[in-house]
């Protein structure tokens, strides 16, 4: 019903008013409104941070638009979207492995995010624009928003969720090619125990079991030996060197290793492999 009304209004806007584009917005989390908009033919374009005001409070907003071609496709029964990754979540998913809890980001993670951004090693290999606590809060809130369908971000915590050990994400999800990219980092006090590899094996096993993702790539500077060891221990094969492909936190262009794991690759043989709940 709401879908049909939205389509008729859009048809009137295009045909009678001569408009070229109709915009749509809703507060982040209003999934029902988003579903109506998508089925009417709107294409979601992203999240406008604090883009709408509700009762005097600024809130994040989903934005979308419809062009005449989108409406024509929707009216013809087609989808306005490229193929989706089957099973890919738009709401956060929590995972567990032997020694880790991988949970969604929360606002009270901000101090840990700020501490990570100030760590010298992270500042070189995984630099983040997080100058103060407000920026960290903003990042924590954005990391909890998986609604774009092209990113999943987990906080790496101890099983009782009393300490934050790091973070890991799968991002740049490319639906037509069933590809994505992964990256991770640990707080200094959590390094040296193999937690990054355990987290990587866990999210990889989840992605290849619960979604139709086919390939996950991983890039790190050739000089980042710890990251190379994490990739190798997690079954991400080295595919080559990308020469001077990324500027890191030291301001220099570095050669990068390209690693990747395919869903058809053999899983690395460790106790923690694929163990999530
Ligand atoms: C990369 C990172 C997550 C690895 O953390 P970790 O799981 O604690 O890694 P560990 O210290 O247990 O080491 C993992 C492996 O690297 C090896 N390693 C660690 N530091 C090394 C170094 N400087 N040189 C060579 N090997 C090293 C360890 O021996 C270990 O190998 P093993 O599994 O064969 O025993 C962590 O160093 C980090 O957070 N770095 C800053 C952010 C970052 O670089 N992120 C990745 C961006 S691509």
Quick one: fold of 95-262?
Answer: Aminopeptidase (3.40.630)
User: What's residue 78's pLDDT?
Assistant: 62
Predicted confidence band at 263 (pLDDT cuts at 50, 70, 90)?
very high
Cβ of 217 less than 6 Å from ligand 1: no
Q: Indicate the average pLDDT of the chain.
A: 91
Atom of ligand 1 nearest to the CA of 185: 39
**In the chain, pLDDT over 90 holds for what percent of residues?**
70
Residue 134 has pLDDT above 70, yes or no: yes
CB contact at 8 A, 193 and 144 = no
95-262: same fold as 2-75? yes
Q: What is the CATH number assigned to the segment(s) 2-75?
A: 3.40.630.30
Model confidence over 4-14: pLDDT tens digits?
A: 889 999 999 99
Which ligand 1 atom is at minimum distance from the Cα of 218?
48
Lowest mean pLDDT among 20-24, 83-87, 108-112: 83-87
Q: Is residue 197 predicted with pLDDT exceeding 90?
A: yes
Nearest CA to ligand 1 atom 17: 226
CB–CB of 143/41 below 8 Å? no
Ordered by start, the domain boundaries in the chain are: 2-75, 95-262
| Per-residue CA distances from 68 to 12, 45, 79 (Å) | 11, 16, 14
The model's pLDDT over 59-72, given as tens digits with 9 standing for 90+, comes to 888 899 999 999 99
The reply to whether ligand 1 has any atom less than 6 angstroms from the CB of 191 is: yes
- Distance separating alpha carbons of residues 36 and 10, to the nearest angstrom: 13
Cβ atoms of residues 166 and 186 within 8 Å: yes
Cβ-in-10-Å burial (0-12, 13-18, 19+) of 225 comes to exposed
- What CA–CA distance (Å, rounded) separates 227 from 125? 9
Q: What is the pLDDT of residue 271?
A: 46
């Amino acid at each position: 019903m709401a879908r049909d009304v939205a389509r008729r209004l859009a048809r009137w806007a295009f045909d009678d008013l001569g408009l070229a584009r109709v915009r749509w917005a809703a507060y982040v989390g209003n999934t029902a409104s988003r579903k109506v908009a998508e089925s009417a033919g709107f294409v979601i374009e992203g999240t406008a941070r604090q883009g709408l005001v509700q009762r005097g409070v600024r809130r994040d907003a989903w934005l979308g638009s419809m062009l005449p071609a989108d409406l024509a496709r929707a009216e013809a029964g087609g989808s306005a979207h490229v193929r989706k990754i089957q099973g890919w979540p738009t709401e956060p998913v929590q995972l567990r492995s032997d020694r880790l809890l991988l949970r969604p980001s929360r606002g009270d993670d901000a101090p840990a995010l700020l501490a990570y951004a100030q760590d010298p090693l992270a500042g070189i290999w995984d630099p983040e624009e997080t100058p103060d606590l407000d920026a960290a809060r903003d990042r924590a809130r954005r990391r909890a928003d998986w609604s774009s369908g092209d990113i999943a971000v987990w906080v790496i915590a101890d099983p009782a969720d009393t300490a934050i050990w790091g973070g890991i994400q799968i991002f740049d999800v490319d639906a037509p090619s069933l590809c994505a990219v992964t990256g991770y980092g640990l707080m200094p006090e959590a390094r040296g125990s193999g937690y990054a590899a355990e987290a990587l094996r866990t999210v990889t096993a989840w992605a290849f079991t619960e979604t139709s993702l086919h390939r996950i790539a991983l890039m790190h500077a050739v000089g980042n030996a710890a990251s190379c060891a994490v990739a190798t221990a997690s079954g991400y094969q080295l595919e080559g060197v990308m020469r001077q492909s990324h500027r890191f936190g030291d301001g220099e262009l570095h050669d990068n290793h390209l690693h990747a794991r395919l869903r058809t690759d053999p899983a690395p043989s460790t106790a923690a492999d694929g163990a999530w709940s």
